[in-house]
């Protein structure tokens, strides 16, 4: 039994059994294990709360007769526990999914859940890394003197080069296979992003050189499978790159916001600041809609106003 199903152990009620069927269905659709665990946890919390709130065990009939006010009461309860808007939104999405499952099975109604609004997320601006620091992070010189083996230093630099030099997500970079390696002879690669959508990404020469150096130094045969390898030869874990970033930002005096994903933000911000076209940046990043890319124009505006306030006599 998987971990998310284990959350319903000991609860052999028809509702709990149907919850297991729902989770199994989501698993077949290849939903991530972490999301499944979160959905199961959120549903269990909802069922426990509503039983206490209504003063009766939650059955199919009770679920069908829930009022929007009952669902809002649960959201308010979670908010009092200082649960953030993003977690509340995920929880509501999972509970709605279960309600739709019950409706498809003729055991409930999703109507009460559809009328409850999702919490609004405070949209914070991405925090790019300064260009000189981002460039240094994507090189090997900054790590001179480290006890790490040269191939590991080259590997980390190659991965970070792909994040800053090509705007890849860390999962996209680590998902590259050997046969698609962006080495010196390949100036464009196809990556698989969110929702299994593929896109073509141009690879500039400094990034190709970084990957080529790593491939020459790697002690493991790179004939097939994952391009980037861990210390024991298996696929490289994202956590290793996150730890490398922590060491680098410490050496450069950067804040905790300087994460691997911040290099992707830096790619977009610096490209836009250099005159890049918004539509082109959207395609390079693999954003489904232009609105996701337009947030970088806000960053540019903020930086422009900061420079104005610092330099203009009338702004002081």
Q: How far apart are CA 80 and CA 77, in angstroms?
A: 5
Type and span of the H or E element at 200: strand 198-202
Instruction: Find where tokens 């999702």 sit.
Output: 118
Point out the catalytic residue in the list 101, 155, 208, 287.
Answer: 287
Sign, Cα dihedral of 34, 35, 36, 39: positive
Q: Catalytic residue at 296?
A: yes
Alpha-carbon distance of 18 to 123, in angstroms, equals: 36
Residue 265 is a catalytic residue? no
Q: Specify whether 264 is catalytic.
A: yes
Catalytic residue among 4, 78, 143, 169: 169
Q: Please pick, among 194, 197, 216, 279, the residue that the annotation labels catalytic.
A: 194
Active site residue 155: no
Enumerate the β-bridge partners of residue 202. Answer: 188
CA 97/CA 194 separation, integer angstroms: 20
Q: How far apart are CA 52 and CA 89, in angstroms?
A: 22
* 37 contact partners, CB below 8 Å, separation of at least 6: 3, 4, 7
- What span, in angstroms and rounded, lies between the C-alpha atoms of 4 and 226? 29
Closest-CA residue to 235 (of 174, 297, 305, 149): 174
Per the CB < 8 A criterion, the answer to whether 207 and 161 are in contact is yes
Contacts of 218 (CB under 8 A, 6+ apart): 151, 155, 229
Q: Look at the block and give the residue holding tokens 């979670």.
A: 78
Is 247 annotated as catalytic? no
Q: Choosing from 4, 155, 264, 270, which is the catalytic residue?
A: 264
CA distance linking residue 138 with residue 211, whole number of Å: 11
- Mapped to the 3 state alphabet, what secondary structure does 223-268 carry? CCCECCECCCCCECCHHHHHHHHHHHHHHHCCCCCCCHHHHHHHHH
- Provide the annotated active-site residues: 169, 194, 261, 264, 287, 296
């Amino acid at each position: 039994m998987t971990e998310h199903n284990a959350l319903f152990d000991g609860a052999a009620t028809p509702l709990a059994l149907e919850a297991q069927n729902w989770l199994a269905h989501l698993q077949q659709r290849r939903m991530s294990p972490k999301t499944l665990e979160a959905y199961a946890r959120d549903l269990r919390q909802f069922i426990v709360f509503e039983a206490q709130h209504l003063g009766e065990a939650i059955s199919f009939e009770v679920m069908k007769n829930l009022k929007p006010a009952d669902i809002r009461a649960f959201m308010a309860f979670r908010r009092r526990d200082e649960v953030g808007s993003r977690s509340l939104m995920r929880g509501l999405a999972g509970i709605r999914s279960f309600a739709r499952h019950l409706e498809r099975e003729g055991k409930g109604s999703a109507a009460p859940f559809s009328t409850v609004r999702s919490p609004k997320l405070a949209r914070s601006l991405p925090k790019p890394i300064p260009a000189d620091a981002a460039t240094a992070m994507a090189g090997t010189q900054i790590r001179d003197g480290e006890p790490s083996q040269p191939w590991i230093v080259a590997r980390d630099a190659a991965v970070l080069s792909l994040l800053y030099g090509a705007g890849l997500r860390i999962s996209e970079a680590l998902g590259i296979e050997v046969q698609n390696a962006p080495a010196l002879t390949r100036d464009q690669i196809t990556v698989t992003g969110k929702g299994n959508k593929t896109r073509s990404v141009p690879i500039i020469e400094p990034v190709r050189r970084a990957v080529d150096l790593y491939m020459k130094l790697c002690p493991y045969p790179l004939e097939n499978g994952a391009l980037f390898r861990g210390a024991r030869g298996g696929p490289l874990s994202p956590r290793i790159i996150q730890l490398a970033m922590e060491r680098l930002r410490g050496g450069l005096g950067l804040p905790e916001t300087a994460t691997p994903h911040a290099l992707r933000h830096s790619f977009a911000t610096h490209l836009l600041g250099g005159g890049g076209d918004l539509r082109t940046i959207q395609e390079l990043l693999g954003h489904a809609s232009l609105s996701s890319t337009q947030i970088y124009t806000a960053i540019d505006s903020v930086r422009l106003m900061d420079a104005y306030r610092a330099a203009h006599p009338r702004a002081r």
